[in-house]
Amino acid sequence: MSWYQLKIALRAENLPRTETLLKLAGAEAFSIRDAAHTDIVEPEPGTAPLWPDITVKALFRSKSIAAAGHNILASTLDNSTNIRIEQLSDSEWQEIWTKHPATQKIGKNLAIVAASEEWKDPNRVAVRLNLGLAFGTGSHPTTSLCLEWLDSNVRPGARVLDYGCGSGVLAITALSLGAESAWAVDIDRQAILATCENAKLNGMADKLWLGTPDELPAIEVDIIIANILAQPLRGLAARFSDLVVPGGYIVLSGILSRQSDAVQQAYASNFGPFIQQRRKDWACLVAPRI
Q: Is residue 10 part of a domain?
A: yes
> Which residue, 63, 81, 97, sits at the end of a domain?
97
Question: In this predicted structure, what is the pLDDT of residue 35?
Answer: 44
CATH code assigned at 175: 3.40.50.150
Question: In this predicted structure, what is the pLDDT of residue 93?
Answer: 63
Binned average pLDDT, 10 residues per bin, the chain of 290 residues: 83 80 80 57 47 81 88 86 86 60 85 84 91 60 94 97 93 98 89 87 96 96 95 96 98 93 98 95 95
Structural domain boundaries, residue 87:
3-97
HEC string for the chain: CCEEEEEEEEEHHHHHHHHHHHHHHCCCEEEEECCCCCCECCCCCCCCCCCCEEEEEEEECCHHHHHHHHHHHHHHCCCCCEEEEEEECHHHHHHHHCCCCCCEEECCCEEEEECCCCCCCCCCEEEEECCCCCCCCCCCHHHHHHHHHHHHHCCCCCEEEEECCCCCHHHHHHHHCCCCEEEEECCCHHHHHHHHHHHHHCCCHHHEEEECHHHCCCCCEEEEEEECCHHHHHHCHHHHHHHEEEEEEEEEEEEEHHHHHHHHHHHCCCECCCEEEEECCEEEEEEEEC
210 and 281 housed in the same domain: yes
Q: Is residue 232 part of a domain?
A: yes
